[in-house]
Structure 1
Amino acid sequence: MFSKTPMLRFFLTFVLLQLSFFGINMLGVVQQHVVLPWTELLARACVALVMLFDETAAAAGKVLWNTATGFGVSIEPGCNGIEACIVLFSAVLAFPSSWRHKLVGLVIGFLAVQGLNVVRVISLFYLGQWNTQVFNFAHEYLWQALIMLDVLIVWLLWVRAGSKSQNSSGPPPPPAPPAHAPASPKPAGPLVSASLDLSPPVR
């Protein structure tokens, strides 16, 4: 368990990183050159997967739509996985660990969040064609909760992996003191008879 000071430091760093990243994300230049191209790439990736079993899907910018029915979903901010990645990245960077372990967490976390986000977009694409009420519930409540749950689970697994790594790579235990050799018994001296000589003296 952490003491109060490291926990407070982690919380404050986590909040400050989120504020910084969300502020950068809202800049016009970032939206134009990073967020929008990524969102369009996400739409094309979803179309590529959907076309494996449905040839009526197409992408126009950030919109995934059905060429047969005309129904489409637009991938707006909050649906491209960037905000969830910001939360996860802030938690990983704020947590005390090695930079190598942080890099592993950032890469795996990004793949986990964006992979699940692709599933979200595709599922909403078909839910919207089936039932509008179910689509609204899944879009506004269900998938929002699942994405944040994914962020939490990935972060907890990453923290646990780091703890196991530190325990396994800790300093080796001190060597055991050498065993003392048993004292060798002292050699027994010659046995001397203590009996008296009772023979008569020689004259």
Structure 2
Amino acid sequence: MTSTQLAGEKKEDKRKLYFFIGGVFIFSIFSFWLTSQDSFIKVVQPLLNLYTYLSSKILNIFGYATSARAEYLSGPAFSLEVKKGCDAIAPMILLVLSILFFPAPFKSKPKAILYGIGLLFLLNLVRIISLYLVKLYVPSIFDFMHTDLWQIVFIVFTLYLWLRWLRKESNPAHAQN
């Protein structure tokens, strides 16, 4: 390979990197702007209701007398409101954009996106259920769990999902299939 070809490949790699970073950045800003609009609650409300419904059903399996009414998960002692922002949409958007804009063949992207969204959905159910239990048993750490710990968990898990997909994409055996 000549130095001119090598320089051309480096330039192409740089262009792909800029496209990836720029695309994810621009569409993330647009997506977060869109989700911050008051009208977006109409779109996300059914998802919030589903989270509370499923959380209540799971808690009831374990003997907790809970009920779900719209975005409220209620028990004998208190109600927990699952609001916009507690829906895991932000990490889902970030994962989808990171996969879509990464310069890799499109073939594996839909499966990775569906898999990632499903896992983030399940993680959010775990989050809601755990926050209900924390508020019930150790209310003094609820704010920390809600605003600090779970935010970090979602960031790390989203990054993990993307890196796992990226590693699979860069595997030569996978590329041949």
- Band the TM-score falls in, shorter-chain normalisation: 0.7 to 0.9
Equivalent residue of 1:76, what SS? coil
Q: How far off is 1:115 after superposition?
A: 0.7
Question: Within 5 A, what are the aligned runs for 1:134-145?
Answer: 134-145=141-152
Amino acid at match of 2:120: V
Alignment RMSD (CA, Å): 1.9
Amino acid at match of 1:41: L
Equivalent residue of 1:59, what SS? strand
Q: What are the superposed Cα offsets for residues 138-166 of structure 1, whole Å, 9 maximum, x if unpaired?
A: 11100110011110000000111111256
Q: Give the TM-score, by structure 1 length.
A: 0.75
Query: Which of the numbers 3, 14, 34 marks the counterpart of 1:24?
Result: 34
Q: Distance in 2 between matches of 1:29 and 1:165?
A: 45
Instruction: Identify the residue that residue 116 of structure 2 maps to in structure 1.
Output: 109
Q: What are the superposed Cα offsets for residues 111-156 of structure 1, whole Å, 9 maximum, x if unpaired?
A: 1111111000000001001222211111110011001111000000
In our comparison, the structure showing a higher alpha carbon Rg is 1
Query: Which of the numbers 154, 157, 171 marks the counterpart of 1:150?
Result: 157
Amino acid at match of 2:40: V
Equivalent residue of 2:86, what SS? coil
Is 2:15 the partner of 1:8?
no
Q: How far off is 1:23 after superposition?
A: 2.9
For structure 2, list consecutive stretches of 5 or more residues without a partner in the other structure: 1-9
Query: Which of the numbers 24, 47, 54 marks the counterpart of 1:38?
Result: 47
Give the number of aligned pairs.
Answer: 166
Q: What are the superposed Cα offsets for residues 67-104 of structure 1, whole Å, 9 maximum, x if unpaired?
A: x22x1211112211111111111111111122221101
Amino acid at match of 1:51: N
Is 2:126 the partner of 1:119?
yes
Contact 2:41 2:84 in 1 (8 A): no
Q: Give the TM-score, by structure 2 length.
A: 0.86
Question: Within 5 A, what are the aligned runs for 1:49-60?
Answer: 49-60=58-69
Q: Distance in 1 between matches of 2:47 and 2:40?
A: 11
Instruction: Identify the residue that residue 84 of structure 1 maps to in structure 2.
Output: 91
Q: Determine which structure has the larger helix proportion and give its number.
A: 2
Q: Distance in 2 between matches of 1:89 and 1:36?
A: 21
Instruction: Identify the residue that residue 5 of structure 2 maps to in structure 1.
Output: none
Contact 2:28 2:94 in 1 (8 A): yes
Instruction: Identify the residue that residue 102 of structure 2 maps to in structure 1.
Output: 95
